[in-house]
Amino acid sequence: GQFAKAYSSWRIIAGVKDSQTVFNPGFAKVAAPPPFNWSFVTNGAIVEPLPANRLHVLYFGRNDTVLAEQLLLLADGRYELSMDISGSIGRGGEIAWTLTCVPRAEAIFRLPVDRKGRLAGIFSVPPGCSAQRLQLSAVIGEFPQSQEFTVSNLSLTNRSGG
């Protein structure tokens, strides 16, 4: 794909500086459009940015859905994704952050959101995976129930040496 060209055009249109990893990790309401900024689900859940760099998620537990997503252009190497989770993480389904190579949809990382507190995971972007889709997804459980939680202090850090 022409991801680098699209990103360059997007930066000009959106009037933003280059983002090294995640654009807008605080989920602020800014004019920059998806796919290189966050897009949020419009059915099956309510997902909305809150003040103080937080994202509020109310998942109704009735269907599988992508709650939030952003297209990234990470260089190959090692990275750490981390965030704080507060609220009620129930057992009514599975919520997780995933990172996949685009366009071939090859999953390279999965971090379940299964408890409150600090969550973190380390992953590697392989050579040839020039674009990635970061998603917060929910999968309906055997006994569906709603889940309400807040994501804060989201960070995606390059951990490659040198």
Which strands make up the sheet holding 77-88, listed edge to edge? Answer: 45-50, 54-59, 147-158, 77-88, 117-125
User: Tell me: the pLDDT tens digits for 65-120?
Assistant: 999 999 999 999 999 999 999 998 877 789 999 999 998 888 999 999 999 999 99
Q: What is the pTM of this model?
A: 0.93
User: Tell me: the pLDDT tens digits for 115-156?
Assistant: 999 999 999 999 999 999 999 999 988 887 889 999 999 999
Q: Name residue, tokens 């939680």.
A: 149
User: Tell me: the pLDDT tens digits for 9-22?
Assistant: 999 988 888 777 99
**Please, what's the b/e burial string for 121-159 (b: 16 or more CB within 10 A of its CB; e: otherwise)?**
eebebeeebebbbbbbbbebeeeeeebebbbbebebeee
pLDDT at 136: 97
